[in-house]
Amino acid sequence: MYSLYDIACFAAGLAGNVFALALFLSPVTTFKRILKAKSTEQFDGLPYLFSLLNCLICLWYGLPWVADGRLLVATVNGTGVVFQLVYISLFIFYADSRKTRVKIIGLLMLVVFGFALISHASFAFFYQPLRQQFVGAVSMASLISMFASPLAVMGVVIRTESVEFMPFYLSLSTFLMSFSFALYGLLLRDFFIYFPNGLGVILGAMQLALYAYYNRKWRGQGSSAPLLLA
């Protein structure tokens, strides 16, 4: 029999996986446009490379030989790795120039090398519990940098008084995913999970507050509702 605590942990982690899936699917609109145009046009491939590195590091943290009992962290980031690899592959295939293609391939190799270095170091230089602390610290830093990235978009919203470049469903998914994993981390008493996701909750709430405030002005100017991703 599973205890109420076990059920609560599983429910929080599972909810985080579901909401993260919405985030992973958010670039689909962008790649539909790329497939239609058969060109990456002016889109930037760097966010997908950074997301891949983040997912790889967090996947490593969720595996039992690093942090036991964190399977739902591994599943969500394993799914993220698959999505990011698909997006990067499409970006390489439809790159608008040979220079861009070579650049993305080179950066992809750098991401793989960086992850290999971290995973090797975690085994070569650390035993438990230091291994979990080392990988956890790296994954936490990676997560915080990912959660902080929308700050630039929030600045654009404030300057332009328009929510056009801050899609509502993307902000909502970020908030819900962060809340779910912050709760999951609290239940597990895992600082490396609940702290960065707690920051994600705060930033997600700020995005939703900005959306609520500026959406009226933006709609008042006759603009249509934003797509999931521009």
Task: Find the domain containing 37 and state its range.
Answer: 4-216
Q: Is residue 97 part of a domain?
A: yes
Q: Is residue 223 part of a domain?
A: no
pLDDT tens digits, residue range 26-41? 888 888 888 888 887 7
DSSP the chain: ---HHHHHHHHHHHHHHHHHHHHHHTTHHHHHHHHHHTS-TT--SHHHHHHHHHHHHHHHHHSTTTSTT-HHHHHHHHHHHHHHHHHHHHHHHT-SSHHHHHHHHHHHHHHHHHHHHHHHHHHHS--TTHHHHHHHHHHHHHHHHHHHTTHHHHHHHHHHT--TTS-HHHHHHHHHHHHHHHHHHHHHT-HHHHHHHHHHHHHHHHHHHHHHHHHHHHHHTTPPPPPS--
| Nearest CA among 98, 228, 116 for reference residue 173 | 228
Q: Is residue 226 part of a domain?
A: no
pLDDT tens digits, residue range 184-225? 999 999 999 999 999 989 988 988 888 888 777 655 555 444
Q: Is 55 in contact with 73 (CB distance < 8 Å)?
A: no
Q: Model-level pTM greater than 0.85?
A: no
pLDDT tens digits, residue range 93-116? 888 888 888 989 999 999 999 999
Q: Is residue 162 part of a domain?
A: yes
pLDDT computed for residue 165 by the predictor: 66
Q: Is residue 118 part of a domain?
A: yes
- Rounded to an integer, the average pLDDT of 161-189 is 85
Q: Is residue 88 part of a domain?
A: yes
Q: Is residue 68 part of a domain?
A: yes
pLDDT computed for residue 197 by the predictor: 93
pLDDT computed for residue 223 by the predictor: 47
pLDDT computed for residue 14 by the predictor: 92
Q: Is residue 221 part of a domain?
A: no
Per-residue pLDDT for 61 more than 70? yes
Percent of the chain at pLDDT > 70 equals 92
Average pLDDT, the chain: 86
Domain count, the chain: 1
